Chains A and B, each alone.
Chain A
Amino acid sequence: MAVCISVIAKENYPLYIRSVPTQSELKFHYTVHTSLDVVEEKISAAGKAMADQRELYLGLLYPTEDYKVYGYVTNSKVKFVIVVDSSNTSLRDNEIRSMFRKLHNSFTDVMCNPFYNPGDPVQSKAFDSMVSGMMVQVS
């Protein structure tokens, strides 16, 4: 159950960003932005090792005392960043992986839509509903 989910384009601008307690939206935007550095670092580290065997799931990017940030990068350099609450310690690694997998599948569906121009913000309702399903429910 994520607190913030974002999709970053290859050129490092956001295509889609959504966070759940909307008053702390700015904080999450900032977190995602700073996490991009870590993502780049991981990509370049893995890239030097083996260019073709890079793992898509990057794992925990960095933990803070409030929350943890996980990253995932696709083969077209589109990055997904998920921020989860640290208090929610029961989230296991493969749950995070499955969240990323669902995100990747939905994003692929959005890409397959010929009316979507790559580089545009993602406005698909199906993608929105999938993301809402993964976010923390706050009444």
Chain B
Amino acid sequence: MTPGGQTGSLQCDHHVDVYTVGRLGIVTEVCGTEDLGLFTSAQFLVALKLLAARQAGLPISLESTSRDLPLPRFPGLQDLQDPRYGAVPQGLGAQQDPQKSTARLAEISAELGCHSGEEESDHWRITEELQEYYTIQFRSLQPDLGALVLGTDAKNFFTRSRLPISELSHIWELSDVDRDGALTFSEFCTAFHLIGALIHCSEFTVTWGGSYSSTSIDEAMKKAEEPPTPPPRPQKTHSRASSLDLNKPPLQGYPEKTPVKKPLQTNFTNFLRFREENLIGPSHLRVPQKPVRRKFHPDNPEAPPPSSASLAPPPKPLQKMPSKQKRDIQTVIRQNKESNAVLTRLNSELQQQLKEVHQQRITLESHLDLLRPLTSTGPN
């Protein structure tokens, strides 16, 4: 995790945006680092523990580090051996077609949020790449970065995201903190980021309504410990214009990229399928999703046998049934088999990711155990 090795120091403000200083400052104070913004490995681990505490809703203090907390969540924190990191970003490209803008944002947010396969990823991080993208979009509406985007312009722009007006209205309320009916650059980034996250992770709306005000969203965005790996790079190889139309399985010969595409697309399909039903109650959205996924796996070995068995005995009664129905049933069976295959593959990939995350957790916890006597006798 630390790029400088265990003995080196980590520059904490490596990629921190100008407005992320506030909350991080408290963390650094409690860790005992000086204002230089340098962490030793021990302090870095303490900082991680404090971030976990903060994400669990506890105050940032040394007492909260002694509790058992889940690992802090950093969206975009990837396994270093992941082959996707070979593709270094070649520059975002200023030729962002507005029609592709929503698809592009969809990609980015999916990379950010839905990769880990955990139920609630923390989407609050804005990477540099996203920051550039937001800057470009802001400039398209308002060339001066220091000035405001008017409400009507912003409305037309965000309406293109095809979210319902109530959700957009709520996003506006949260992001326009000075209540002036226009968006500054940071407010615009906030709103854009929230829209991207909302498009992708439906469980986002639960925590949204419950515990976040606009100020706490800014604070959450300030928890910027840049992962040492470069930001995840969405694939631009095949057209994503149809990224939101996802009932076809992604079997088109991108072997090393399908690990990303699968969770993205499954989240997409499930989200879209359930979207019309209920956008506000995603707690039970996830519940039907999980049993559906798990059900496919054990049923998969049984699904082909029953289907083939069922195809064999009823040739006789099927002859009596009209041939149209028979064809329909066969197409349905074929589609189900395809979706079964997709879902089992997805399941195995998610299991792998889960294992990796467990391993990371174990190593972090062992480090923390080693350091616990240090932190308890540390400064303040």
- A residues within 8 Å of B by Cβ? 108-109, 112-116, 123-126
Contact = CB atoms under 8 A, between A and B. Distances in A.
Contacts of A109: 173, 179
Contacts of B179: 108-109, 112
Contacts of B169: 113, 115-116, 123-124
Interface of B: 151-152, 154-155, 165-166, 168-170, 172-173, 176, 179-181, 209
A109 to B, nearest CB: 5
A30 to B, nearest CB: 29
Contacts of B152: 114
Given A114-B154, A116-B169, A124-B170, 6 more contacts: A109-B179, A112-B151, A112-B179, A113-B151, A123-B169, A126-B173
Nearest to B154: A114
A123 B167 CA distance: 11
Contact of B166 (A114, A123, A126): A123
B176 A115 contact: no
Contacts of B155: 114-115
Contact of A115 (B165, B180, B209): B165
A123 B172 CA distance: 13
Contacts of A116: 169
Contacts of B154: 114
A112 B170 contact: no
A125 B168 CA distance: 12
Contacts of B166: 123
B165 A112 contact: no
Contacts of A115: 155, 165, 168-169, 172
17 contacts: A109-B179, A112-B151, A112-B176, A112-B179, A112-B180, A113-B151, A113-B169, A113-B172, A113-B176, A113-B181, A114-B151, A114-B152, A115-B155, A123-B166, A124-B169, A125-B209, A126-B173
A124 B181 contact: no
- The winner among A108, A115, A123, A126 for most chain B CB atoms within 10 A is A115
A126 B209 CA distance: 10
Contacts of B180: 112
Contact of A125 (B165, B173, B176, B181): B173
Contacts of B176: 112-113
B172 A114 contact: yes
A69 B170 CA distance: 31
Contacts of A124: 169-170, 173
A113 B214 CA distance: 14
B151 to A, nearest CB: 3
A114 B181 contact: yes
Nearest to A124: B173
A117 to B, nearest CB: 9
Nearest to B213: A126
Nearest to B164: A115
- The winner among A108, A112, A113, A114 for most chain B CB atoms within 10 A is A114
A3 to B, nearest CB: 26
B18 to A, nearest CB: 26
A15 to B, nearest CB: 14
A115 B169 CA distance: 5
Nearest to A112: B181
Nearest to A116: B169
Contacts of B172: 113-115
Contacts of B209: 125
B151 A125 contact: no
A33 B151 CA distance: 34
A8 to B, nearest CB: 21
A104 to B, nearest CB: 13
Contacts of B151: 112-114
A109 B155 CA distance: 15
- The winner among A108, A113, A126 for most chain B CB atoms within 10 A is A113
B224 to A, nearest CB: 27
